[in-house]
Structure 1
């Protein structure tokens, strides 16, 4: 959900404090706001956060209250409510809905083992034979990024190939006992849809979800719908980039391309209004948390902002998104952003809209991304200054250590070596902080690039200082 952004902001916080705006508390209200109120907040939020492009949709009582776009795409064209974007993990709710329609058809057994219904699914762990479909959708299957070869899954060109890459996977928990967020669960679920229905997953979703709901600008591949190009922020500059290559089209975990206008139809059906794809009890089941975690089926429960929200966010490497259903007011919200950076502005805008819908007065949003990047620039300047000073003073440093014991000299070298070790361990450290989600160096060149560059320069400054000191010690005959 929001793992990647929270972790990266936390790492940036190692070198300084971040202060985020809060929302003023007020009693929830059932009063219907005008579209103008939502429009004014959204336009101001898009400007204040400095995002290149944002689209939003708000629904209530079976109607789209407001849908609009702000900013521009990579060609300079204005973003509208009909601009297609990748919505990343918001796809998971679509996959869950596809599965539940087949459960109601009797083609999939929700509490039957996946392996019995998808014979091609095999892993290196015999416990995987006990994983049920419900556990896939609840993210409690025991599968995780740590137990699967995520590098291999990224090379898959189809859901069938993706499933085949899991033959070496192992479980990191007994099925049903622990929650672990992983795309593996939802890509397996999508492959199960293909096998149970005899149809390509994208085509099934089009026929059973997009078409009945009236979502003409939605698809699971960019041959059908071309999304607006995404952006990354690099020290204050937005740079248009193609999304990181990987298993995107047809993916059950993050493949949906859609628009704010179309997502309005999706929010309406999940609010229990408009055309219904499954029975009310199954719709409620998709939103209900489990005893293991506040996560249903492609939706989570967020209680951090007062009354609980049914919500989910989506994060790729050049797109972010967020959606929420607010049972306390009846509103539905979705925010799509054609960029990704070290701060998740999509979710900040979403929570501001939720607050507005509750009759609260959300604090104005600020350009937190620029603050983080300015902080990192200061760290870079400091690291370069320390590195230059370390090299210049290396002779004096070595002269003071020429008669020291070797272990004391080693200890005195550790501060310069620390940033080198931190940079080398950067992907692994992020993986641990993100509950085992796999992180690669290629991914670190996208939205985390400012932090990656900062750590690289710190490591370079440390290496230059350390090298100069060791060379000086050797010249003085203290190293043999």
Structure 2
């Protein structure tokens, strides 16, 4: 009888429970802890439903971040602009494959090739427009989209239209102005009436006058500093002006997945998601090797990413109210993708803390070497080959002078200005500045020491 009972227990006892995968909420709380960001807002959708929408942390005013906290999404805005254009294409108001110049009065450039730029070229980033040939400071001071177009008149293309991919915000600000002309409505109003409104995105706009947004943050050697976003995207910008919430982004992702209320036909949706032969970029969407549709947005105090997985039907939007040298939004999105595919998300390391700690050490070392160089200047001046040996100390000064251009080169030609360098790359900027000041101080001390060493004793002033 005991043997029978034992066998029964063996066969009928429940199997040991497998180690559960982290839930979406648990994973995001882990992400908050490991990245240390002050505020995070996330939405996950699946087959026409919002399965998770929440906020974590706080904003610059100390309020808890929720799924309804407005955040800037920067270049994620491009997918909204592309949608606005396609709604007008379907109504016959805009022709996708005809020149922009024929549909947008006042659009001229100091380059005859601009007459061949089509609307499709703008949305696919294959127009030939480039940060290297567009007068970015002039466009950033524009007071309207119409004024923006006028300020492009002295710019040139970097390549023949349709032959070269190059990411440039001017493409989408031109597209936004085209929406205004074709619809007879301000761009923000058209988005509200034809995109945000039909989807029920009541907390979305392209101006902080319509949807107030709190200051964001930048990190300085591990300390979060509230910072106001510098001027760069004018109100109604088609390239990066959208302010939205996680809850609203859920409705947007559902529409982009082909579920819910359609804004355009499935054929138009497929056109926007179709990569070009030049680059895996559609219209406001990048296409990854695994088919994932993705677009990131990076401002100077905010970051965001949106993604749709045609394979699983999941959609994701991750937004942070901060910007640093390391943007965690993309990695968090990849972790959510893994989680929804039944895979274990990769760990999120403290890359920001590590990068900034290294830069802090380098700044201290540079300052220390500068003090040492000044103290030893007289001994240094007594040696030979003085002029050539002055050069190394001036290298950091040259790096500082060329700093915006160097970063622009590393960012594939994207325009970088000094005002921007006081935001997300602030620790790097300070490290370069400290090194340059140390080098300059050492150089001055050595030049003075050379004069002192070379001046005959009889000519030196007596005390």
Matched, 1:224 2:207: no
What is the DSSP-based 3-state SS (H/G/I as helix, E as strand, rest coil) of the residue aligned with 2:297? strand
Pairing 1:453-464 to 2, within 5 Å after superposition: 453-464=430-441
1:410 corresponds to 2:410: no
Mapped contact 1:153–1:247 kept (Cα < 8 A): no
Q: Secondary structure at the match of 2:240?
A: coil
Cα distance, 1:240 vs structure 2 = 1.1
d(CA) in 2 for partners of 1:190 and 1:275?
Answer: 23
Would the aligned equivalents of 2:378 and 2:453 in 1 still touch at CA under 8 Å? no
1:271-282 aligned within 5 A: 271-282=257-268
> Given the alignment of the two structures, is residue 346 of structure 1 paired with residue 332 of structure 2, yes or no?
no
Q: What secondary structure sits across from 1:114 in the alignment?
A: coil
The whole-number CA distance in structure 2 between the counterparts of 1:313 and 1:169 is 27
> Superposition pairs for residues 37-436 of structure 1, below 5 Å?
37-303=23-289, 307-401=290-384, 404=385, 409-436=386-413
Could you tell me how far apart the structure 1 residues matched to 2:55 and 2:455 are? Answer: 66
In structure 2, C-alpha distance between the alignment counterparts of 1:255 and 1:220, rounded to whole Å: 5
Partner of 2:11: none
- The 4+ residue runs of structure 1 with deviation greater than 3 A are none
Alignment deviations for residues 51-97 of structure 1 (CA, whole Å, 9 cap, x no partner): 01001000010000100000001121110001011110010000000
TM-score, length-scaled by structure 1: 0.89
SS of equivalent to 2:44 = strand
Partner of 2:453: 476
Q: Is the 2:123–2:284 Cα contact (8 Å) retained in structure 1?
A: yes
Report deviation, 1:35: 12
SS of corresponding position for 1:324: strand
Name the SS of the counterpart of 2:238 in structure 1. coil
Higher RCO, 1 vs 2 (CA within 8 Å, ≥6 residues apart): 1
8 Å CA contact 2:125–2:168 kept in 1: the answer is yes
CA-CA distance at 1:36 after TM superposition: 7.5
**Which structure 1 residue ranges, 5 or more long, are not aligned?**
1-33
Deviation, structure 1 residue 391:
1.1
**Contact 1:219–1:256 under 8 Å retained in 2:** yes
Number of residue pairs matched by the alignment:
437
Could you tell which deviates more after superposition, 90-99 or 368-377?
368-377
Shift in CA distance, 35/339, structure 1 to aligned 2, threshold 3 Å: farther
TM-score by length of 2: 0.92
Tell me, in whole angstroms, the C-alpha distance in 1 between the residues paired with 2:247 and 2:433: 42
Q: Which moved more, 1:170-179 or 1:364-373?
A: 364-373
- The Cα offsets for residues 97-148 of structure 1, whole Å up to 9 and x where unpaired, read as 0001111101100000000000211111111000000000000100111111
What secondary structure does 1:467 align onto?
A: helix
Q: Aligned-residue CA RMSD in angstroms? A: 1.5
Structure number with greater Rg is 2
Cα deviation for residue 241 of structure 1 reads: 1.5
| In structure 1, C-alpha distance between the alignment counterparts of 2:109 and 2:255, rounded to whole Å | 36
> Unpaired segments of 5 or more residues in structure 2?
1-19, 457-463
What CA distance in whole angstroms lies between the structure 1 residues aligned with 2:63 and 2:113?
A: 52
Shift of 1:478: 8.5
Distance 1:228 1:215 in 2: 19
CA distance in 2, matches of 1:309, 1:467: 56
Give the secondary structure class of the aligned counterpart of 2:418.
Answer: coil
Shift of 1:473: 1.5
> Over residues 257-280 of structure 1, what are the superposed CA-to-partner deviations in whole Å (9 max), with x where a residue is unaligned?
100010001101111111111111
Aligned residue for 2:25, secondary structure, equals: helix
Distance in structure 2 (CA, Å) of the matches to 1:477 and 1:329 = 77
Aligned residue number for residue 17 of structure 1: none
